[in-house]
Chains A and B, each alone.
Chain A
């Protein structure tokens, strides 16, 4: 065998070198896989793995006819990653400034600073201690429209990118502001339907765990876990935008004319309890809620209490008729100033005009305080109190948007000697405008008190109805026959009572005026009033209930009677509703219609 050309030493050296290389590789692998494993995994995860949260779209709020009252719209927050900025893109900055509607100098300043910070950060990134201080996002503009963002991306400025956010917008601005409420800048639903129906509206965010490439694009094939986003449900209210607009417009007229402290108008359907419109003055713009004073954000219809005044006389009259202790023709002496009651001579309240003998029908029509007091005395405190409770006073109406107060209705044991003469005319009791409205609705609904309905249905993100809300009966206040009689008595308010002159021929308007002196510093004052009118029509088959309540109307002369302040507004709203809701008259007028003469007078 021939001797090899290499010496044994050389062979050994090569073998050792090769082994050393293998050993080096082995040691490195041990370091990579065992010793530095956790740190390296952390780094890899940070560099490649990502969890992308998909924001759920908040459901919309719609009116009864499907018009949008509140919706979510996406906006882009545009920012820049200082470390990715490229000096060659400087030429695109002026165009970007134009698109972002920023002064050119301001944007250039921000971008140049960012670039400097980026370079510094890149240098610092070599120092582990400063690794966490790297700035990767500098905000340039908020609420950039999608179209504008598309144009910005077309500029291909390196490092400039956007993050999408949903923002709540309210197409009607002030329309139904107190009903809808708003979501604040932190995304917290603060008031109204937004707050109380948040559970339906908010939806559930989804998330995706996956990996990204060097350009931060998702590598969809490496998705390991995915929780799908669940968009919020849409909430359909019973509010009708057109009716709401009508009453808000009416409130503006009232506000301009009388400069009240607050005013409320409510319109509802008596047979379902559905609220078609609920508006308060002062109002505010939902898209600029941050500028609205807190007072303007109060839903006075449920948060404020007033003495209902003469509108409360429906309790005494309804109860007395329902108990069968009087008929509409029963006569009472309303000229007397005091009366013997339970062995005590009680002073009767004053009247606005002198009366003598009045029937129950006249007591209602002419709003006699003494007549109402005598009706209550005839049935006694317990019966009167029981009926007041049945009408819903002193308790929650279970309004679905919450925030309501219960009002004040003391038990008879807490009444003083005069309460039985004062409460029937709507003093010594406090109620929210909605309570008064629902009490009148009970009369219009055959004596059945319903829960006020503001929610119509809930729809999922695909538009399928997932829940509907049916009318809810709360109490049978009056027998249907009594309610029908009382409705006719309330119609007489228009034909010969306190609202005479405001009737609409053929439509049997019915209702009750109310004028209450305000209590200032614990005393009734004669120059400040709550004026109200609560009514419905047509009296024989009620289709709509309207309440107009004006607190502290400033009159140029005279007293702010319900007749002067609230009844004209009631009539004006009724005229519009007749056309809009196509309410047919009970008797079709045969003459006087322009159309029958081809539009000629």
Chain B
């Protein structure tokens, strides 16, 4: 058998070297790419964290604003400035009744529409105590 010509071995070495170069180059580029991805992901998450903190801060600010607006003293002041005339009910304005007021009102309405018998009214569901407050008090 004839030995391979000497340039075949050289060619192989050159090819292998080239492969190695391409491989290491790919590895290097891959490492750079991964590093870049880490960098951009870290920065993106940092931006998101900052945004989240910002939103939370603003939420706190809004909460504080709402709390100030809902303070009993503020509400009463607003009641005066807007001339709403809202007042807490007084005992004399309150009639306490058995059963659910919604059911009673529904029965009343239905009675007017369909002329339901009083039997139907009596069989209506009864819940706990409820109270009815008149709208105005001179």
Contact = CB atoms under 8 A, between A and B. Distances in A.
Nearest to B137: A594
B67 A175 contact: no
Interface string B6-18: 0000000000000
A468 interface: no
A595 B71 contact: no
A177 to B, nearest CB: 13
Contacts of A596: 95
A593 B64 contact: no
A588 B46 CA distance: 65
B120 to A, nearest CB: 24
Contacts of A145: 61
A218 B54 CA distance: 17
Nearest to B66: A68
A580 B64 CA distance: 25
Contacts of B71: 171-173, 175, 241
A67 B95 contact: no
B131 A582 contact: yes
Interface string A399-421: 00000000000000000000000
Contacts of A575: 90-91
A593 B94 contact: yes
Q: Interface majority SS on B: helix, strand, loop or mixed?
A: helix
Nearest to B56: A57
Contacts of A146: 54, 57-58, 61
A595 B91 contact: no
Contact of A72 (B60, B70, B135): B60
A73 B137 contact: no
Interface string A577-592: 0111010110010001
A584 B96 contact: yes
A354 interface: no
Interface residues of B, number: 40
B126 interface: no
A595 B95 CA distance: 6
Interface in A37-80: 57, 67-68, 71-74
B135 A599 contact: yes
Contact of A73 (B43, B64, B93, B95): B64
Given A146-B58, A221-B43, A584-B96, A71 B88 contact: no
A259 interface: no
B92 interface: yes
8 contacts: A73-B61, A173-B71, A220-B43, A221-B38, A580-B88, A588-B96, A599-B93, A599-B134
Interface of A: 57, 67-68, 71-74, 145-146, 164, 169, 171-173, 175, 218-221, 223, 241-242, 245, 504, 506, 575-576, 578-580, 582, 584-585, 588, 592-596, 598-599, 601
Interface of B: 35, 38-39, 42-43, 45-46, 54, 56-58, 60-61, 63-64, 66-68, 70-73, 88-96, 129, 131-138
Given A146-B61, A575-B90, A580-B88, 13 more contacts: A68-B66, A68-B67, A71-B63, A71-B67, A171-B68, A175-B73, A220-B45, A221-B38, A584-B129, A594-B93, A598-B134, A599-B93, A601-B138
